[in-house]
Chain A
Amino acid sequence: EIVLTQSPGTLSLSLGERATLSCRASQSVISSYLAWYQQKPGQAPRLLIYGASSRATGVPDRFSGSGSGTDFTLTISRLEPEDFAVYYCQQFDSPPRYIFGQGTQLEIK
């Protein structure tokens, strides 16, 4: 079974800085099945990126995804106050199941 490992566990940055979050898979995965979610306290996860690099509807263009094989990255180009949250990567596997990473907490420095 695929395991997704996210790093760092916590990332402390200032407003306007660039954030780089990593998601590493235990084996090569299909890029079109890799997604990223944002979760704020008391809310459900919100889909940000699908297919490793496509933004979901309404997601600002400061969010971008990249990667292939086993290494994927979520980049936030210039941090806004509303971006501080927990981020999860997710892989769709067969038989149908959704595998999540353990998350990266993005906090204000």
Chain B
Amino acid sequence: EVQVVESGGGLVKPGGSLRLSCIVSGFTFSSYSMNWVRQAPGKGPEWVASISASGGYIYYADSLRGRFTISRDNAKNSLFLQMNSLTAEDTAVYYCAREAGATLGYWGQGTLVTVSS
């Protein structure tokens, strides 16, 4: 059974940083691209970043302006998202999701990030 579990969310002040983690099981992690997707309260999902299976190709949403960094550790079946210079607009549930062709076939339960003073 595929399992995807995010952690690391919480309350952070504007301008602060946070590092999200995602640990997976039930599939060969090193064979799949992985993604972060966020969803602000009452809004639709917004794709944030993607990293290829080997980690050699990385893509970000244009709106992030270089503030976020996606990375992975295939030996530990883990995905990360380093978020810097956070603003209130970054408040959202952050999901880790595995690619399945041109879709996101497996999602975690999400971790809530709240940016507020």
Q: Which residues of A contact B110 (CB under 8 A)?
A: 44
Known: A47-B100, A50-B100, A97-B61. A56 touches B105 (CB 8 A): yes
List 18 A-B residue pairs with CB atoms under 8 Å apart, sorted by A's residue number: A35-B103, A35-B104, A43-B109, A44-B108, A45-B107, A47-B105, A50-B103, A51-B101, A92-B103, A96-B33, A96-B50, A96-B57, A96-B59, A97-B50, A97-B61, A98-B37, A100-B46, A103-B44
Considering the complex, give the chain B residue whose CB is closest to the CB of A86.
Answer: B44
**How many A residues have CB within 8 A of the partner chain?**
24
Bound: A102/B37 CA distance, A: 14
Residues of A within 8 Å of B61, CB to CB, are 97
Within the complex, the shortest CB–CB distance from B41 to chain A, in Å, comes to: 12
> How far, in whole Å, are A56 and B104 apart by their CA atoms in the complex?
11
B59 touches A90 (CB 8 A): no
Write the chain B residue with the least CB distance to A36. B103
Please report which residues of chain B, range 68-117, place their CB below 8 angstroms from some CB of chain A when the two chains form the complex.
95, 97, 100-105, 107-110
- What is the interface of chain B, defined by CB distance below 8 A to chain A? 33, 35, 37, 43-47, 50, 57, 59, 61, 95, 97, 100-105, 107-110
Q: Provided the pairs A33-B102, A50-B101, A97-B61 are in contact, do residues A88 and B108 lie with their beta carbons within 8 angstroms?
A: no
Does A47 lie within 8 Å of B33, measured CB to CB?
no
Which residues of A lie under 8 Å from residue B108 when comparing CB positions?
44
Residues of A bordering B, CB below 8 Å: 32-33, 35, 37, 43-47, 50-51, 56, 88, 90, 92, 95-103
- Inter-chain contact A88/B44, CB cutoff 8 Å: yes
Task: Please report the C-alpha to C-alpha distance between residue A17 and residue B43 in the assembled complex, in whole angstroms.
Answer: 27
> Which residues from A are CB-within-8-Å of B101?
50-51
Closest CB-CB distance, B62 to chain A, in whole Å?
8
Question: Contact: A95 with B105, CB < 8 Å?
Answer: no
Instruction: Kindly provide the distance from the CB of A7 to the nearest chain B CB, expressed in whole angstroms.
Output: 14
Contact of B103 among A90, A96, A102 (CB under 8 A): A90
Q: Please name all residues of chain A whose beta carbon is closer than 8 Å to the beta carbon of B95 when the two chains form the complex.
A: 44-45
Tell whether A101 pairs with B105 under 8 Å between CB atoms, given A44-B110, A95-B59, A96-B50. no
Q: Nearest chain B CB to A2's CB is how many angstroms away?
A: 12
